[in-house]
Amino acid sequence: MNAIAKPAPTALDALNDWVASVAQLTQPDRIHWCDGSDAENAGLIAQMQADGTLVKLNEQTHPDSWLHRSHPDDVARVEHLTFVCTPERDDAGPNNHWMSPTDGHAQMDALFDGCMRGRTMYVVPYCMGPIDSPLSRCGIEITDSPYVVANMRIMTRMGAAALARIEREGTFVKGLHSIGELDPGRRYIMHFPEELTIKSYGSGYGGNALLGKKCHALRIASHQARSEGWLAEHMLILGVENPQGETHYIAAAFPSACGKTNLAMLIPPEGYREKGWKIWTIGDDICWMRPGADGRLYAINPEAGFFGVAPGTSKKSNPNALASIQSHTIFTNVGVTADNQPWWEGIGNDQQPVTDWRGEAYDPAKRPAAHPNSRFTVSAKRCPSYSPMAEDPHGVPISAIVFGGRRASLVPLVFEARDWTHGVLVGAAMGSETTAAATGAVGVMRRDPMAMKPFCGYNFADYFSHWLSFDKPGAKLPKVFHVNWFRKGEDGKFLWPGFGDNLRVLEWMIKRADGAVGAVETPIGNLPAETDLELDGVELSSEARAKLFGFDAEGWKAEFASIGDYLDEYGPRMPAALKEEQQRISGALAG
C-alpha cells in the first residue's frame, strides 16, 4: 500500500517553526506579529514615549516627530565586530572578518539565551523594494526593540503585504536582533550568507539593528545577487530631466557621509531651473540592479525611507532633505532647543540648543550638540523631489554609474572610464578619507571599493569578477565615471562649490552617454575640456581650474603602484583582467 505523501511545508510553516525556536531560546514575555498598521505604530510610539525611549518634539514646528537617544557607546556601525560566516575563510575574503558558521551560531546563541525575558519579541515581516517588483526580496526581523520596529516601518515595506509575499514565494531572509545589555563587550553582528541569516546582538543603532538595511540589503543581498545574476550596491539613484523632458537615471557610489543624500536630492542651479532642468530622487543609499531584456541595467531602491546624517543638513546644503524632515520623522542623537525643536551643527537657523545628544545641558566645550553621526529616519515620499518611478516594479534604466570619495589631492573633478573593465577597476581602486559614520579615526585615506568595503558579503576578488561578468554580448552597460567634489587648494579650502553645481558635471556625463560631447583622453580616463562643462556663474581660480580639470602624471604613477599593491592583497582569486588593466594604465603613465 502506497503511503500518502506529506504536503510540502509552506513558507509560513518554516516561519512559524523558526519563530518558535527563537522564542524558546530568547524567552520573551510576549510575542507580537507586526502588521504595519497605523494603530500598531501609534501604540508602539505611545509605549516608547511613556518609557522615555522617544521624546516628543515640538508639535507645531515638527508634527508627529520624535527624538531617540541611543546609548553613548552605541552610535555608529561597528565594522570590527561585524562578521561574515562562510564554511571556507577565502569565500568571505580579506575584506571581511570571518568566523565559521558553527562557531558564529554558537557564539550568538549563547548571547541570545534568555535575553528577551521581561520583553516583547516583535516579528517584523518586510519587503526590500516595491511590494510587487520581481527585483524585490523579503525578510523577517525578530527584535526586542520597538524603536527598531518603528524605524523598519519607515525604511521598508513592512507588515501584512510583505508577509503575504513571503507566503507566496516561500523564501525570506531571517534576521534575529536583540539590544541585549547594550554592552560594547557583548556586541556582535554575524552574517550567514549561505543560510540567508543575520544575527545581531548588543546594539540599538541604525545599521546594526535595522537588519533590512546594510545587513540584508547589502551583505546578504550581495551574496544573493551574485548567485542570481544581479548587483546589490551602496549607491544612490537619481533622475536628471533635461529641458526636452528626457530623464536619464544615474547610480552613484560614495562612502557614508560623503554626500550621497545631497546628490540624490540635488536642486539645480537657478540658470538650470529656468531652462527646465529637474532632479528626481529614487533613493539615497542602496541600489539593486538587474539586466533587462534590452541589455540595459534596471535599478530599484530597496528602501522606502531615508536614514540620513543630520549634521550639515541645511537649507544651503540640502533644502529637499530639510523639507522632508519637518514632520513624521524619528531623529536619533541630535540636540534640542528650548522650544523642543531638533538641532544639529550646520543646520543654519537662529535657534540654539539647550540639550545635547546625551540629554545633558549643552556645553560646546564638552561635546557637540548633535553626535557627528546623528540621524533622521523619514519616508522617501516626503521628499519634494521624490520620483513616483521609485515604485515602478520594473525599475529605472541606468545611463551612468558614478564612483567617488573624499580626496583632498590628486583626483580631478570628474573622469570617464575607457570601457567596462576600466570602470570596474575605477570602482575597485576607489579611495576615500574616513568619516564619522564608522568607528575609528576620521580623515584617514583607505581603499573602499565601490563604497562596499564595510558591506560586501563575500570575497572582493569574487565580487570584482561578478562585476566583470556583466560585459557580455548584447549588454548595453552604463558608462562609468569617477567624481571628486572634495579636491582642496593650497589654502585647504574646497576648489569646487559642490551642491547644486554638481549638476554641471552630471550634464556632461549624460551628454557623454548620448555621444553628444567630446572629452580629453588621458591614461587615467577621459576628462572634460573646460569648455565642455557649463560653468556660467561659477567662479574658479586658476589653481582650481588646473587641479579640477588636469591630471598629475607623477602623482598618478604612485597611485597606480599603490592600486597594484592593493589588488595583490587578494591573491590568486583577483581577476586577471583587473590586474592587466592596472598594468596597462601604469605603462601608459610611465610612457
CB 305 within 8 A of CB 155: yes
- Judge residue 550's burial from the number of C-beta atoms within 10 Å of its C-beta, 0-12 exposed, 13-18 middle, 19 or more buried: middle
Residue keyed to cell 586577471: 576
Distance in angstroms (rounded) separating the CA atoms of residues 209 and 192: 16
* pLDDT given for residue 438 in this prediction: 60
Distance in angstroms (rounded) separating the CA atoms of residues 204 and 156: 17
Is 115 a residue of the active site? no
* Residue 382 assigned as binding residue: no
* pLDDT given for residue 199 in this prediction: 98
* pLDDT given for residue 439 in this prediction: 59
DSSP state of 181: T
The upper half-sphere exposure of residue 355, i.e. CA atoms within 13 Å in the direction of its Cβ, equals 18
pLDDT of 5 higher than 60: no
pLDDT of 241 higher than 70: yes
Torsions phi, psi of 34, nearest 5? Answer: -80, 135
* Residue 256 assigned as binding residue: yes
Distance in angstroms (rounded) separating the CA atoms of residues 451 and 453: 6
What average pLDDT score do residues 72-100 get? Answer: 96
3-class SS string, 431-487:
EEECCCCECCCCCCEEECHHHCCCCCCCCHHHHHHHHHCCCCCCCCCCEEEEECCCC
pLDDT of 425 higher than 80: yes
- Please report the sign of the dihedral spanned by the C-alpha atoms of residue 552, residue 554, residue 559, residue 564: positive
3-class secondary structure, 520: strand
> What is the b/e burial string over 299-327, where b = at least 16 CB atoms within 10 angstroms of the residue's CB?
bbbbbbbbbbbbbbbbeebbbbbbebbee
* Residue 223 assigned as binding residue: no
Distance in angstroms (rounded) separating the CA atoms of residues 364 and 370: 10
Confidence class of residue 440 from pLDDT cuts 50, 70 and 90? low
Residues with Cβ within 8 Å of 355's Cβ and at least 6 positions away in sequence, in order, are 335, 336, 361, 362, 369
What average pLDDT score do residues 142-160 get? Answer: 98
* pLDDT given for residue 479 in this prediction: 98
* pLDDT given for residue 437 in this prediction: 57
pLDDT of 7 higher than 60: no
* Residue 285 assigned as binding residue: yes
* Residue 374 assigned as binding residue: yes
Closest CA to 200 of 174, 233, 224, 234: 174
Quick one: what percent of the chain has pLDDT higher than 90? 93
Helix (H) or strand (E) holding 103: helix 101-112
Residues with Cβ within 8 Å of 236's Cβ and at least 6 positions away in sequence, in order, are 251, 252, 254, 260, 261, 263, 264, 282, 283, 284, 285, 287
* pLDDT given for residue 444 in this prediction: 75
* pLDDT given for residue 435 in this prediction: 64
Distance in angstroms (rounded) separating the CA atoms of residues 473 and 480: 18
3-class secondary structure, 237: strand
* pLDDT given for residue 512 in this prediction: 98
| Structure confidence by residue, pLDDT tens digits, 166-182 | 999 999 999 999 999 99
Single out the catalytic residue among 138, 258, 287, 456: 258
| Structure confidence by residue, pLDDT tens digits, 517-539 | 999 999 999 999 999 999 999 99
| Structure confidence by residue, pLDDT tens digits, 195-213 | 999 999 999 999 999 999 9
* Residue 373 assigned as binding residue: yes
* Residue 262 assigned as binding residue: yes
DSSP state of 429: T
Confidence class of residue 235 from pLDDT cuts 50, 70 and 90? very high
* Residue 234 assigned as binding residue: yes
CB 41 within 8 A of CB 150: yes
Residue type, 558: A
* Residue 16 assigned as binding residue: no
| Structure confidence by residue, pLDDT tens digits, 489-519 | 999 999 999 999 999 999 999 999 999 999 9
* Residue 205 assigned as binding residue: yes
Instruction: Name 386's bridge partners.
Output: 281
Q: Which three cell numbers stand for residue 194?
A: 549561505
Instruction: Name 189's bridge partners.
Output: 82, 200
* Residue 501 assigned as binding residue: yes
What average pLDDT score do residues 327-333 get? Answer: 98
Confidence class of residue 6 from pLDDT cuts 50, 70 and 90? very low
pLDDT of 325 higher than 70: yes
* Residue 406 assigned as binding residue: yes
3-class secondary structure, 199: strand
* pLDDT given for residue 4 in this prediction: 44
* Residue 446 assigned as binding residue: no
* Residue 260 assigned as binding residue: yes
- Range in 388-402, 424-438, 546-560 the model is least confident about: 424-438
* pLDDT given for residue 1 in this prediction: 35
Structural domains for the chain = 12-53+73-229 (3.40.449.10), 233-304+387-590 (3.90.228.20), 306-382 (2.170.8.10)
Closest CA to 159 of 29, 307, 330, 40: 40
* Residue 214 assigned as binding residue: yes
* Residue 261 assigned as binding residue: yes
